[in-house]
A and B are shown apart, each in its own frame.
Chain A
Amino acid sequence: MKKLIVMLSFLKRNLLPLTVIAVTMTVSLFMIITTVGEYQYRSYARKVFADSGLAHSVYFCRGYDPLREDRDSNQWIYDAAAAYPAFSQTVTYTTDVDSLEGEIVNVMYQSDALLQAFRPKVSRGRWLKPDAEEPEAVLGGFACKGRRLGEYITLEGGVTARVVGLIEGNALWPSFNRSGTRMSADDLFESVDSCAFINAAQTDPALIERNRPQRARNAIICFKEDADAWEIAELRAFLEQQGLCYDYETLLLHADEDIADALRRALPLPLFLVTVMSISVLCVGAVILQRSMSEQAKYYLIGCSKREGILLITGALFMAFLVPILLNTVLAMCFPHFLRLGRYSEPEYIINGVTLLPMGGYAAVMLILLWGMPRLFYKKLSPIQVYRRNLS
């Protein structure tokens, strides 16, 4: 408490340079949060896909022909594939656009296989489970607003489900509609800002089919665990006659390449800025130190130890750090939507508690460096030598 008074005196004395440090650190920490947030966003789909346990499968896709295509035009291929000994199951879904109390909501009816494979992070409650006793829903994005866990929702289409989980912010939405010559795990997902995931197995099929909902054009085709290499090759050969196949490893590999590529483009600017700003903070710290040393020598004269003197300086710098740390923490925890442009724009960041760890680490490293400076200084010159120098 007593030392706080001395520290405040020191703060007051160095208000301007400390403000410079606080502002610079605010920007620095913000850059770190957004960069980490962007990395989390870019790598989130990959992570969900990697955790899916779909190693024993291929993503099968076909080119799109609007003239021949209807929503069940791939069904015969899946039926034919089912005849092969390596075939285990098709992972797919049905989507519909429905409305919930007047608000448009994208609805996805997930097969047990799908909801077991992809488990997005749920902010509250839990994800869907296969052996549920009734239709259950996990709401995402704007559909969460005003919803409570455990309540029942009824879509305009007639489906009633119990809310078991909420995904605040945009939800990751499996999307097996894309096809191309280079697919990555990221291509199997989209970000949706208002949605409901419902387990298909527990829901009345007649209600699901009432609006003639969309089928996923493509699908993930799983192989039996005990299928041998020859049997798998046989099924793949059949599928590749009809379209393209991407296995789990290839999809992850492509995702890794895409993430690395995105980082190569996204990193240089923040890295450069953070480096420049870190150096500025250290330089301003050195200036503050130099300015304070003669005052420190006076405190030394009347009973401040070297260690206390160093702690006083570092303490004041820590206070200057507190503002940017708090500001950025509040931003990250309370306003993750701050970085999003508007109602329907896609977010490019995932900001959460995890994002704060690198920020805290960086702030700690900076503080340790700033704490090392007066220590180094006192190694070279004792306070009484500082005092003698200032005298002459």
Chain B
Amino acid sequence: MIQMEHISKIYQVGDAPFYALRDVSLHIGAGEMVAVRGRSGAGKSTLLHIIGGLDTPDEGRYMLNGLNVGEATDAGLARIRNEQIGFVLQDFSLIDHRSTLYNVTVPMLFGKTPFSQMKTKALDALEAVGVSDQAHKAVSDMSGGQRQRVAIARALVNDPPVILADEPTGNLDSETTEEIMKLFVSLHERGKTVVIVTHDEHVASFCDRSITISDGKII
């Protein structure tokens, strides 16, 4: 599903090049659930952004589901993000002033879903994460756990094969963390490829395997 060969991400810091990722080769099969771990600043988020087509690698070759992501255009990347990937981030990255329903509908506004099916699909996605009763509430009026559920519903609504999560439980208490992780496990059981960046030992224990990054390299 995810096939990376000799990927590097280089930032120019002053005069010197800084390798946020250095010669990373990685293979994640379809349906796997993988934890990415490492110290702060190791390059975990950078890796996740490249996997998700948010950022482009400076070196190496990256294939996602048979698509050459490294060579995709602006519009091509947008399409990959829309159809292949669902993102769940630590800060939820929801549009706070709008309703839950709107937030879950947005990926379909950039995709191919016909108008008539949008509402049903959005409500189904909210149902799947257990917040369908909050559909018309503004996101800013919801709790952290509820927001993360909405974010997961948004990631699911276009039914992408890959779910990427960057510290999805970083802002949540342990009980809510447990619930959210169970959601991820259920997605995994439904056949999605799930990649979770985390500091948390417990969170990593839900996954099939762990990848550890240090100073931009996989160890």
B-binding residues in A (CB < 8 A): 1-3, 5-6, 9, 13, 295, 297-308, 382-384, 387-388, 391
Query: How distant is the Cα of A348 from the Cα of B74 in the complex, in angstroms?
Result: 53
Q: A9-B102, A308-B110, A382-B55 are in contact. Are A303 and B97 (CB under 8 A)?
A: no
- Chain B minimum-CB-distance residue to A6: B109
Which of A2, A303, A305 has most B Cβ within 10 Å?
A: A303
Chain B, residues 99-135, CB within 8 Å of chain A (1/0): the string is 0001000111111000100000000000000000000
- Stretch with Cβ within 8 A of A (4 or more), from B33-41, B59-67, B78-86, B189-197: B78-86
Partner of B75, one of A297, A300, A302, A305: A305
Residue among B55, B78, B83 with the highest chain A CB neighbour number at 10 A: B78
Note all chain B residues with C-beta closer than 8 A to A13: 97
Determine the residue in chain B with the shortest Cβ distance to A302: B107
Across the interface, do B109 and A2 meet the contact criterion of CB distance under 8 Å? yes
Q: Which residue on A lies nearest to B81, using beta carbons? A: A303
Given contacts A305-B74, A305-B75, A308-B78, contact A295 B95 (CB under 8 A): yes
Known: A2-B115, A299-B106. A9 touches B75 (CB 8 A): no
B184 at the interface (CB under 8 A from A): no
> A-B pairs with the 5 shortest C-beta distances?
A303-B82, A305-B78, A303-B110, A2-B109, A302-B107
Chain A residue numbers with a CB within 8 Å of B106 are 6, 299, 302
Which residues of the partner chain B approach A387 to less than 8 Å between Cβ atoms? 93
Contacts of B74 in A (CB 8 A): 305-307
A307 near B75 with CB under 8 A, answer yes
A303 B107 Cβ-Cβ under 8 A: yes
The secondary-structure label for the interface of chain B is helix
A298 with B94, Cβ < 8 A, contacts A384-B49, A384-B54 known = yes
Return the chain B residue nearest A384 by Cβ.
Answer: B54
Interface string of B38-77 (1 = CB under 8 A from A): 0000000100010000110000000000000000001101
Q: A301-B89, A303-B107, A308-B110 are in contact. List 19 more A-B contacts (CB 8 A).
A: A1-B115, A5-B109, A298-B93, A298-B95, A299-B106, A299-B110, A302-B81, A302-B82, A302-B106, A303-B82, A303-B83, A305-B75, A308-B78, A383-B54, A384-B49, A387-B93, A388-B45, A391-B90, A391-B91
Q: Which of B45, B90, B110 contacts A304 (CB 8 A)?
A: B110
**Minimum Cβ distance to chain B for residue A328 (Å):** 33
Contact B78 A301 (CB under 8 A): no
Nearest CB in chain A to that of B82: its residue: A303
Q: Which residues of B contact A (CB under 8 A)?
A: 45, 49, 54-55, 74-75, 77-79, 81-83, 87, 89-91, 93-95, 97-98, 102, 106-111, 115, 154, 158
**Alpha-carbon separation in the docked complex, A343 to B93 (Å):** 62
**Distance of A220 Cα from B110 Cα, bound (Å):** 72
Cβ of A301 and Cβ of B110 under 8 Å apart?
Answer: no
Q: Quick one: which of B77, B94, B98 contacts A9, CB cutoff 8 A?
A: B98
Distance in angstroms between the alpha carbons of A303 and B84 in the assembled complex: 10
**Which B residues are in CB contact (< 8 Å) with A9?**
95, 98, 102
- How far is the CB of B202 from the nearest CB of chain A, in Å? 23
Q: 30 interchain pairs (CB within 8 A)? A: A1-B115, A2-B108, A2-B110, A3-B109, A6-B106, A299-B106, A301-B54, A301-B81, A301-B89, A302-B87, A302-B106, A302-B110, A302-B154, A303-B79, A303-B81, A303-B82, A303-B83, A303-B107, A303-B110, A304-B110, A305-B77, A306-B74, A307-B74, A308-B110, A382-B55, A384-B49, A384-B55, A387-B93, A388-B45, A391-B91
Interface centre among A9, A13, A298, A382 (most CB of B within 10 A): A298
State the CA gap A387–B45 with chains docked (Å). 12
A301 & B93 in contact (Cβ 8 Å cutoff): yes
The docked-state distance in angstroms from the alpha carbon of A388 to that of B93 is 11
Q: How far is the CA of A391 from the CA of B54 in the complex (A)?
A: 15
Cα A295 to Cα B81 with chains together (Å): 16
Q: In the bound complex, how far is the Cα of B13 from the Cα of A41, in angstroms? A: 61
With a CB–CB cut-off of 8 A, which chain B residues contact A3?
109
Q: B111 and A303: CB pair below 8 A?
A: yes
Q: Which residues of A contact B78 (CB under 8 A)?
A: 300, 303-306, 308
Chain A residues within 8 Å of B82, by CB = 302-303
A378's nearest neighbour on chain B, judged by CB, is B74
Smallest CB separation, B156 vs chain A (Å): 12
Measured between beta carbons, the chain B residues less than 8 angstroms from A304 are 78, 110
